[in-house]
Amino acid sequence: MVNTILLLSVALMAPILDARTLTGPTHNKVVVCYVATWANYRNATVKYEMKDFNPDLCTHLVYAFAALDPTNHTIKPHGYKTAVDMKRDYPHLKVTIAIGGWNEGSEKYSNMSSSPESRKRFIDSVVAFIDHYKFDGLDLDWEFPSKRGGRPEDKANFVALVKELKDAFESKQYLLTAALGAGKDTMDTAYDVAKLSRYLDLIHMMCYDYHGTWDGVVGANAPLRGTSEDDVLSLICMDLMNNTAWKKFWDEKSATPYLRDGDRVVVYDNQRSIALKVKMAVDYGLGGVMVWSIDTDDTKGVCAEELDALTDIYARFNKMLVDPLVTKAVKSLGSGNKNHNYKGQYYLIHNDKLELRLLTRGNTNYPLMEAINQAMVISLEEKRIMAEVERITNTNVIDKKDKRGDKPGAASILSSSAVTLLFCLFFIGKSIRLSFAFVVYDVTKEDIIETSP
């Protein structure tokens, strides 16, 4: 059924393909790539070393994890030179160290954050650690305040810890980020997001592990709308090639691919589901995307190219193709107007017609990471085009009113402003609570509005 949908989409207007290659993030969004230190200890087929890392695909590299010494509340040293040395050859790359993780638990962090004295010991050790190893900053991955052996006051103590870290980082311009659990119960119990957002540079929403071995039924682990550490995409592909009993399926409701062999089910992310998540991040105006973890991509190039990878991009293009306002908008954006400066990488006008030019890849290392960066640029272009369509439409409406001599009254202007304000408040409230995998929320002081109930 997937192939049929794809062929029907292409039949309307097949996009023109070319052989350009992706040389790195060419957009203005953040792509945060975690790398798991234990990936180095996997079996040879899926072993991952820092020499395998491709810095062109990410804006930030988070080395996960450092550990907390439970006795003196200081950060434990480890070998980080290879990761930090990446910055020398790739100056665009920010390399930070993550502390915490699931295996670290919560109790140590609860104790450390419980008093100003223990927080200061920790912060002093972090600053010395970052200075010594030349990291760009720290990522906090406390899983989770007030849970798993923590205490109720962890929620407030976590805010105090983050504020004091930010104060210590300010003069050195170190980055401070945090990975937050995205489940509603965890969000409500563990975090004061409005206050945290004042001090964090980026908030990484961990929108996965919604289902796992703890459930009585199988569900999508990281749905758009569970697993062992060896669940790497290349392993899934090899199992699929070696066992023809596996059948591929697509769950439309959660936008999730899965494999089934009788009672065995594997739920995972592919290029199509990743691209849809990126599209949603762009539509909601988020700061970018976070990937846990880059070492679980098909870094060896084992997987065959998936036929449905571009299904949804084709579908959106076909809708745009039959709307004359879209073509007009792309022409307007590319007209040389100094206020536009639009140079489409994927959407452009050729022989007076709208075209979508996609990259041809075939088999490749890092297919999911490349899908992220391609989908990011495409989604940003689509958003800008549709904004221009709206501008043209509104201009036409105003022109018609001017010709009739209509003038909006004060009441209608006030009403419009009120609706806009309500929409903004709704958007701000929702954007930090998306049930969405790989989300990064770009935090500025203006982004969060606190309101009293």
Catalytic machinery residues = 143
| Distance set, CA 295 to CA 49, 114, 210, 318, 346 (Å) | 9, 35, 21, 35, 28
The residue assigned the tokens 């190893």 is: 133
Provide, for the chain, the percentages of residues in helix, strand and coil under a 3-state DSSP scheme, each rounded to the nearest 5: 45, 15, 40
- Read out DSSP for 248-286? EEEETTTTEEEEEETTEEEE---HHHHHHHHHHHHHTT-
Q: Which residues contact 140 (CB under 8 A, 6 or more apart)?
A: 98, 99, 100, 161, 162, 165, 176, 177, 178, 179
Contact, 221 vs 211, CB < 8 A? Answer: yes
Residue 189 contacts residue 155 (beta carbons within 8 Å): yes
∠ Cα 284 372 289 (to 5°): 45
Cβ distance 361 to 367 under 8 Å?
yes
Cα–Cα distance for residue pair 89/112, rounded to 1 Å: 37
Residue whose entry in the numeric block shows the structure tokens 């105090």: 160
Q: Following DSSP, what letter does each residue of 349-379 receive, concatenated? A: EETTEEEEEEE---S-S-HHHHHHHHHHHHH
Give the total residue count for the chain: 453
CA distance 246 to 80: 40
Q: Are 291 and 438 in contact (CB under 8 A)?
A: yes
> For residues 272 and 237, what is the distance between their CA atoms, to the nearest angstrom?
15
- Contact by Cβ (8 Å): 29, 289: yes
Do 143 and 100 touch, CB atoms closer than 8 A? yes
The whole-angstrom separation of Cα 27 and Cα 264 is: 39
